[in-house]
Structure 1
Amino acid sequence: MVKPVLPVLGLFFALPAGALLWQGQDLTRSFAAIAAPPELLEGCGDVPEAVALAEELRDRALRIERYMAALDTRKAEIALAETTLRERLTELRAQKGSITARQDGATEAVRNDIDRLVALYDQMKPAEAAAILINLPTDFAAEILMRVQPEAGARIIAAVEPRQAALLTAQMGARSVRNP
């Protein structure tokens, strides 16, 4: 014989709910009153250990809330700092790009100037070019001699006095060693 326990229990709970609906009462208020947690010290106010434990739990809850609030504040600060750093990084990358472009432009301008100077020395007579080169700083004169056409460079060095030609040749060799 099967016991009809489940239908009886369903009827037991459904009848009061149906009666409340029939009367037009708000069910949520009734169920909320049943489901509301009891006060923490309800019925234990005279036990000192329970009171101390309840106070300790309240203090811990407050500390945890403060700690969580501080964590949220730190998260917001970190997010703001991260955003600021990313913006700054973008600015610095843009500045680096513009600086590199300016340096490349300046380097190109210097190369063009040196190429024009070299072309000028290529067109000069060896004796005239030698007279000018011996009055220039040795490293600059060696740089020009390294860049002129080899035949023109040989004629210019031949037109320079031997001591000065030795210095220029040594400077040219030292330049080649420094910049492989």
Structure 2
Amino acid sequence: MKPAKAAPASPAPKPPAKAAARKIRRRLGRGSLVLIATLFATSGMIRFGSGIAEAFATGSESSQEAAPPAAGAECVTEPGVLMMLQEVQAREKKLAEREKLLTDRSQAIGMAEKRIEQRLASLVEAEQNLSKTVTIADEAADQDVARLVTVYENMKPKEAAPLFSAMAPDFAAGFLTRMRPDASAAVMAALDPQVAYSISVIMAGRNAGAPQK
């Protein structure tokens, strides 16, 4: 018969101090791992947050750059377009100046025309007043001449003859023409023949150029 195998001997129990030390080491190892993981996570969050902040800053800058220029800001254009714009603005300025000059000239011409019209109206009024004055004077003169003619007609020919001899031939011819034929004939008969002849020539020549019927 084979001899029976002996049962394995059970391990000797570990001392309590060593077991406690192992447990403490395991706990410390796990705590270190948790601490390291926490540090990595915190670092990642910080980097992620800074990345987000940079992204927001970059986005705001790009949005500010892409935003349209505010009112009054100068638009950056190509040199050729800017030169054309300046030429158009210069022409518009010249046209505005010419338009203003034409407007001023038109106003000046209008004022001058009004003054001329006022002066013409004043001249017309003065001419009318002068014409009335002349008419009144002519009427008064005619009345005076008519009175003198009446006076000379009522005078005796011998008394009127010296007066007509002292007058200028034209003036005497005017009175004698207005007098009645018989009175003028009596005065002419009383005049010196030479004076009477001169007056007769003037009286005859007054209507010489008048049209004949």
Corresponding residue number in structure 1 for 2:113:
82
Does residue 170 of structure 1 match 2:201?
yes
| Match of residue 160 from structure 1 | 191
Shift of 1:135: 1.6
Which residue, out of 158, 165, 168, partners 1:137?
168
- Counterpart Cα distance in 1 of 2:107 and 2:192: 76
SS at 2:167's partner residue? coil
Match of 1:149 in 2: 180
- The one-letter amino acid of 2:183's match is A
Q: Which runs of 5+ in 2 are unaligned?
A: 1-71
Q: Which residue of 2 aligns with 1:117?
A: 148
User: Which stretch shifts more, 162-171 or 145-154?
Assistant: 162-171
Please give the residue correspondences for 1:16-165 in structure 2 after superposition, counting only pairs within 5 Å: 45-46=77-78, 48-165=79-196
Secondary structure of 1:128's counterpart equals: helix
Cα-to-partner distance string for 1:56-86 (whole Å, 9 max, x where unaligned):
1111000011111112212221221222222
Partner amino acid for 2:100? Answer: A
C-alpha displacement at 1:50, in angstroms?
Answer: 2.0
| Whole-Å separation in 1 of the counterparts to 2:167 and 2:113 | 55
Give me the whole-angstrom Cα distance separating, in 1, the residues matched to 2:176 and 2:198.
Answer: 12
Name the CA shift for 1:176/1:155 in 2 (closer, same or farther; >3 Å).
same
Letter in 2 for 1:85: I
Deviations 1:21-76 (A, max 9, x none): xxxxxxxxxxxxxxxxxx9x956x22x33222111111100001111111221222
Taking structure 2 as the reference length, the TM-score comes to 0.59
Using a 3 Å threshold, how does the CA distance of structure 1 residues 135 and 112 change in structure 2: closer, same or farther? same
Q: Offset at 1:121?
A: 0.8
What one-letter code is carried by the residue in structure 2 that aligns with 1:130? A
Give distance in 2, aligned partners of 1:73 and 1:176. Answer: 61
* Equivalenced residues, count: 139
Letter in 2 for 1:154: A
4+ residue runs over 6 A deviation: none
TM-score (norm 1): 0.70
Letter in 2 for 1:162: P
SS state at 2:166 partner: coil
Q: Determine the structure 2 residue equivalent to 1:30.
A: none
What is the alpha-carbon distance in structure 1 between the residues aligned to residue 194 and residue 188 of structure 2? 11
Deviations 1:83-138 (A, max 9, x none): 22222222111111111111111111111111111101111112221122112111
Identity value in percent = 29
Gaps of 5+ in 1: 1-38
